[in-house]
Amino acid sequence: MNATKLLAVGAALTIMVACGDDDSDFLTHSDVKDSSSSASPKSGSGSAQGTIDPSTVVMGEMTDSRDGKTYKTVKIGEQTWMAENLNYANLQPTESLDSSSFCYNNSAENCARYGRLYLWSAAMDSAGTWLFNGKRCGDGKSCAPTYPVQGVCPSGWHLPTRGEFETLIDAVGGSDIAGKMLRATSGWKDQNGEDGNGTDDYMFSALPVGYWSKEFKTYFNEGTSTFFWSSTEISSGIVYMINMFDGRVIISQAYKKDGNSVRCVKDGSEPKQEPDSSVKGPALTDSRDSQIYKTVKIGDQVWMAENLNFETDGSSCYNDSTKYCTVYGRLYTWASAMDSAGLWSTNGVDCGYGPICSPTYPVRGVCPEGWHLPTQAELETLLETVGGKSTAAKMLKSMGGWDEKLFSGTDAYAFSALPAGGWFDDKNYDDEFESAYFWSSTELTNKAAYCMKMHGGSGAVVGLEIKQDKLSIRCVMD
């Protein structure tokens, strides 16, 4: 395939994502193969503050219990990385394809040398073979994984996030020199075919594997480039990756449908988050039905520490059984959450599925007097207050009630989020024991509004759900 066509593909993708993510550099596989990019590094340059002394790295080994393969490992600062590419022959079906990993040029010798290339769906374990925290994450669909995502990695290890890659780059001196420091001492050539080997100061030993392009059904860039998947999604078709080429290392963006390498990082390598103290508040009594709720002060916010259980039109119990309301509270459509009928206030009137509304904030909605349905921003503030999205679910989830494969939380802030699941637009109740969803009062379109989502693992996100779905509610004090 000629260079002009390859570059056109890269340009089209750049236009597609520019409006949605303008704070990140963009470099497609095709740009790497055929041009010298002007993209500037995201991480620090030169000798970054906090650079790890190469003499302090610690080498080790780990064995993948699934197939008995042994890998070298290296501890760089607080992170422990595999020092070889993953070579687990995951042939489990993904959401869309039966073949999920392969050898460069379909040669077993290249797998022995380089490890395997994985579709992003396979890297994330979209089939849920080992854990559920990357389930349904694949090309053509947006997902909300909870972090860390084990994905195709061995037990006790996970697919790195964008942030973990940035930490690695900074630890070895920043983007300007990271390529030299992390690349192996043999096998590399630059874009002109000259010697492009690294010094491998940190024993990371990155090899120039290249990648597989679904667009052109072939392999590119052996000897000049390597690409490692992250677990951080940008859109339904694009994710972040670490990109080594022509002596440089940057965080860039790639198509999910292509095949890239995997380097796993050990669980517990992510920065430790020490919870700030939370204060259990006085009990809240809802004057409408005299139900009593626990409350908790987290940072500057005071939250209900139990799900709302006030009965109103547009709400129901999981599986239409009152026993679930006793445990989980009720599930509400967005219209009922916003009190679109104006029963208790007028600031959410006519807000529902179909029309765009312009509520005045705060929106009391279905909440008790003196409390309101949180905005998207208030949910984001909650996640940041408890240590950030990557560890928020662990901090906020209850210590029991969750599927054992998905991990219960520490409930460090006494928020006690339970896996109440929801009712979704396919007219089914789903995700009990697996997920928690909480409505916000912030809409995106006439059919979708923001909510907080917690699945397996330790992460939580503020994402979107269809307004007709029924989700839980946690009210926040005015």
Contact 341, 312 (CB under 8 A): no
pLDDT tens per residue across span 424-450: 987 799 998 889 999 999 999 999 999
Given its phi and psi angles, is residue 457 left (phi above 0), alpha (psi -120 to 50 degrees) or beta? left
pTM here is: 0.55
Give the residue-averaged pLDDT of 73-94. Answer: 86
Q: Is the pLDDT of residue 350 over 60?
A: yes
What's the pLDDT band for 43 if we cut at 50, 70, 90?
very low
Q: Is the pLDDT of residue 15 over 90?
A: no
Q: Is the pLDDT of residue 49 over 60?
A: no
Give the residue-averaged pLDDT of 344-363. Answer: 92
pLDDT tens per residue across span 362-397: 999 999 999 999 999 999 999 989 988 888 998 999
Nearest of 317, 395, 308, 376 to residue 344 by alpha carbon: 308
- Residues of the chain with pLDDT > 70, as a percent, come to 83
Q: Is the pLDDT of residue 13 over 50?
A: no
pLDDT tens per residue across span 283-318: 999 999 999 999 999 999 999 999 999 999 999 999
pLDDT tens per residue across span 145-184: 667 889 999 999 999 988 889 889 999 998 889 989 999 9
d(CA 143, CA 132): 12
Which pair of structure tokens corresponds to residue 357? 């509304």
Packing angle, helices 376-385 and 389-396, rounded to 10: 80
Q: Where are the domains of the chain?
A: 3-266, 278-477
pLDDT tens per residue across span 315-339: 999 999 998 999 899 999 999 999 9
Q: Give the model's pLDDT for residue 142.
A: 73
pLDDT tens per residue across span 203-262: 999 999 999 998 898 999 999 999 999 998 888 889 999 999 877 888 888 899 999 999
Q: Give the model's pLDDT for residue 269.
A: 67
Alpha-carbon torsion 250, 252, 258, 262, what sign?
positive
pLDDT tens per residue across span 248-257: 888 888 899 9
Length of the chain: 478
Q: Give the model's pLDDT for residue 14.
A: 29
d(CA 192, CA 440): 53
Residue 41 DSSP symbol: P
What's the pLDDT band for 405 if we cut at 50, 70, 90?
low
Mean pLDDT over each residue of the chain, to the nearest integer: 83
Report the amino acid identity of residue 255.
Y
